[in-house]
């Protein structure tokens, strides 16, 4: 079976969202239909950053994707319905790797590419919901995310909200200069004027994380 070294990761444009695989029956994201009514996050991401995520493929076969949204436009259904989102972050709505290609570095490659693209857009952080058990495409495993540079902002018994500080990540993300060079010509839209206000600011101070972000495994 193909390894991660054969995977190509590229920015996902709005027109490609409707062609993504239906990864679960109860997904809160209405991405099975072309962008339009009910998918304001797709248009908002395209307008803000010039893309709405990244897609991993081997040849023409998709093996993974990550969907992102500006915080104000994160869907009310799903893991962000009752959680605050930061105004300076891109919100990961869905993080999926084809089961046949898990454990081969596909998720790490997508995360690296996405981080490099967002740094060029002056985005300060990436935020995502995670699960301690029963992980899904909208709430990946907590331990995996912590191993790949995220830290816990808020948590409860079964889930947590995590953040990757992209400014801090620049100092330890492998081959950062090469990643930035690789994406320089892919998306040419100018950076937004400033962060978007959060729709649901979190109440109360966020607890400090227990440890520093860890290095990505090679």
- pLDDT means over runs of 10, the chain (218 residues): 70 86 64 50 91 94 92 69 75 91 93 94 92 83 92 82 83 48 45 45 42 41
Report yes or no on whether pTM surpasses 0.85: no
d(CA 9, CA 117): 11
What is the domain partition of the chain in residue ranges? Answer: 4-19+34-183
The CATH number of domain 4-19+34-183, selected from 3.90.580.10, 3.40.50.1980, 3.30.365.10, 3.40.630.30:
3.40.630.30
d(CA 117, CA 50): 10
Note whether 127 and 161 are within 8 A (CB): yes
pLDDT confidence of residue 39: 73
Dihedral (CA of 87, 18, 49, 102) sign: positive
pLDDT confidence of residue 16: 86
pLDDT confidence of residue 4: 46
Please name which of 94, 88, 54, 3 lies closest in space to residue 182, comparing C-alpha atoms.
Answer: 54
d(CA 191, CA 193): 7
Long-range contact set of residues 74-80: C-beta below 8 Å, sequence gap at least 24: 74/41, 74/199, 75/28, 75/29, 75/41, 77/28, 78/27, 78/28, 78/29, 78/138, 79/28, 79/129, 79/138, 79/139, 79/159, 80/129, 80/200
């Amino acid at each position: 079976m193909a390894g991660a070294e054969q995977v190509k990761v590229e920015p996902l444009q709005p027109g490609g969202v409707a062609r993504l695989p239906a990864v679960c029956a109860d997904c809160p994201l209405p991405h099975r239909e072309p962008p339009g009514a009910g998918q304001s996050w797709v248009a908002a991401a395209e307008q803000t950053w010039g893309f709405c995520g990244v897609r991993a493929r081997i040849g023409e076969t998709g093996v993974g994707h990550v969907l992102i949204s500006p915080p104000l436009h994160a869907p009310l259904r799903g893991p962000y319905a009752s959680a605050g989102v930061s105004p300076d972050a891109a919100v990961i709505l869905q993080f999926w790797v084809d089961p046949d290609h898990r454990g081969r570095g596909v998720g790490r490659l997508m995360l690296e590419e996405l981080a490099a693209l967002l740094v060029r857009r002056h985005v300060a952080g990436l935020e995502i919901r995670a699960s301690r058990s029963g992980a899904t495409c909208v709430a990946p495993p907590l331990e995996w995310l912590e191993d790949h540079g995220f830290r816990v902002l808020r948590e409860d018994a079964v889930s947590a909200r995590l953040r990757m500080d992209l400014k801090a990540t620049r100092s330890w993300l492998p081959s950062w200069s090469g990643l930035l060079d690789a994406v320089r010509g892919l998306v040419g839209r100018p950076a937004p004027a400033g962060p978007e206000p959060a729709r649901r600011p979190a109440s109360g101070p966020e607890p400090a994380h227990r440890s520093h972000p860890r290095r990505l495994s090679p």
